[in-house]
Amino acid sequence: MDLSYTPEEEAFRTTVRQWIAANAPKRSDMRDLDAARAWQRTLHKAGYLGVGWPAEHGGAKLSKIEQGILNEELARANAPGVINSMAIWWVGPAILKYGTEEQKQRFLPRILNAEEIWATGYSEPGSGSDMAAAKTRADRQGDFYVVTGQKVWTTIAHISDWYFVLVRTSTEGPKWAGLTLLLMDLKSPGVEVKPIRQITGDSEFNEVFMNEVKVPVTNRLGAEGQGWEIVSSALINERSGIAGSIRADQSLAKLVALAKQRRLTRDPIWRQRLSDLAIRTQITKASGFRSMTNDLRGEMNPHLSAGLKLLSTELTQKFSETGADLLGVDAQLWEHDAPDDGKVAYTFLYDRSMTIAGGTSEVQRNIVAQRVLGLPRK
What length does the chain have? 378
Q: CA dihedral in degrees (88, 92, 96, 97; nearest 10)?
A: 90
CA-based torsion, 312, 316, 321, 325: positive or negative: positive
**Cα(262)–Cα(137) distance, rounded to whole angstroms?**
55
Give me the amino acid identity at 232.
Answer: S
Query: Which helix H or strand E contains 221, and what residues bound it?
Result: strand 220-221
**Cα(259)–Cα(323) distance, rounded to whole angstroms?**
9
Q: Catalytic one among 9, 224, 238, 321? A: 238
Q: Is 238 a catalytic residue?
A: yes
**Cα(93)–Cα(99) distance, rounded to whole angstroms?**
9
Select from 133, 140, 118 the least CA-distant residue to 166. 133
Phi, psi of 22 (to 5 degrees): -85, -20
Phi, psi of 312 (to 5 degrees): -70, -40
Q: CA dihedral in degrees (28, 29, 30, 35; nearest 10)?
A: 180
CB of 209 within 8 A of CB of 194?
A: yes
Q: Under 8 Å CB-to-CB from 94, ≥6 apart: which residues? A: 164, 181, 221, 230, 233, 234
CB of 49 within 8 A of CB of 40?
A: yes
Active site residues: 238
